[in-house]
């Protein structure tokens, strides 16, 4: 069921409280909301698809990336069960805060997750396809290498089986991902990316 404007208004205070709690903590990663399409508790994922963005706002490109990764034919190359993490960094490496407040972005991410699950359900091409849970997470880490580390260290409650991280990257993000300037603590800088290849 899609989130209506009135129910969004009702969850906005919860999202604001979750954001404040995260920002006042020493945590580098926290899940603030999960959209589980099943009535049962979601299984611990073996593969974690990570869509990291400023979500200002979530776009058709975000939707295309997520749908492409989670389409039943695409997931066959990865170990199941799967989960999608929509990740928002409160300390983005390149982007200053802009018009949409952080709680508003979390609300937009909630709508995005619900719309994505609806689209996946309608596009499922066989009855055995299981819709994944979508987690909405926050991180203070600005760089991919630090984000993966934070998820691995602080996400064990939700991801106890240490799932494989699969980052979903658009073109603009790929160019930043391979930019040496983001890895000054590594020699050579791009050696920071060794765990991804």
pLDDT at 143: 85
pLDDT at 72: 65
Residue with tokens 């919860």: 14
Cα separation, 23 vs 4, in Å, equals 27
pLDDT at 95: 60
What is the mean predicted confidence (pLDDT) over 173-188? Answer: 89
CATH of the domain at 184: 3.40.50
Q: For residue 117, what pLDDT band results from cuts at 50, 70 and 90?
A: very high
Domain tally, the chain: 1
Domain extent, residue 56, equals: 5-196
Cα separation, 106 vs 156, in Å, equals 22
Asked if residue 65 lies in contact with residue 170, where contact means CB atoms within 8 angstroms, the answer is yes
Residues 52-74: pLDDT tens digits? 988 888 999 999 999 999 886 66
> In a 10 Å sphere around its CB, with 0-12 CB exposed, 13-18 middle and 19+ buried, how is residue 76 labelled?
exposed
Quick count: other Cβ atoms within 10 Å of Cβ 129? Answer: 16
pLDDT at 171: 85
Task: Flag whether pLDDT at 4 surpasses 80.
Answer: no
Q: For residue 122, what pLDDT band results from cuts at 50, 70 and 90?
A: confident
Residues 16-53: pLDDT tens digits? 999 999 999 999 999 999 998 887 888 999 999 999 98
By C-alpha distance, which of 8, 15, 37, 26 is closest to 124? 37
28: left (phi over 0), alpha (psi -120 to 50) or beta: alpha
Task: Flag whether pLDDT at 125 surpasses 80.
Answer: no
Share of the chain above pLDDT 70, in %: 90
Q: What is the mean pLDDT of the chain?
A: 87
What stretches of 108-167 adopt beta strand conformation (E)? 133-139, 164-167
Cα separation, 139 vs 156, in Å, equals 15
Task: Flag whether pLDDT at 88 surpasses 60.
Answer: yes
Asked if residue 56 lies in contact with residue 90, where contact means CB atoms within 8 angstroms, the answer is no
pTM of the model: 0.89
Residues 127-145: pLDDT tens digits? 677 889 999 999 999 888 8
pLDDT at 177: 87
pLDDT at 1: 40
């Amino acid at each position: 069921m899609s989130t209506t404007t009135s129910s969004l208004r009702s969850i906005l205070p919860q999202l604001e409280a979750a954001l404040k709690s995260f920002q006042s903590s020493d945590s580098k990663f926290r899940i603030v909301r999960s959209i589980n399409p099943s009535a049962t508790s979601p299984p611990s994922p073996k593969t974690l698809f990570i869509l990291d963005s400023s979500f200002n706002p979530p776009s058709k490109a975000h939707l295309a990336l997520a749908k492409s990764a989670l389409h039943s034919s695409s997931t066959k190359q990865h170990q199941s069960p799967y989960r999608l993490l929509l990740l928002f960094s409160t300390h983005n490496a390149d982007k200053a805060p802009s018009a949409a407040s952080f709680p508003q972005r979390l609300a937009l991410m909630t709508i995005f997750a619900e719309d994505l699950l609806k689209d996946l359900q309608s596009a499922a091409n066989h009855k055995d396809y299981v819709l994944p849970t979508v987690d909405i997470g926050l991180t203070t880490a600005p760089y991919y290498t630090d984000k993966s580390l934070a998820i691995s260290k602080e996400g064990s409650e939700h991801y106890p089986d240490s799932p494989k991280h699969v980052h979903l990257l658009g073109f603009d993000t790929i160019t930043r991902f391979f930019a040496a300037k983001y890895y000054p603590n590594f020699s050579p800088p791009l050696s920071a990316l060794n765990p991804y290849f």
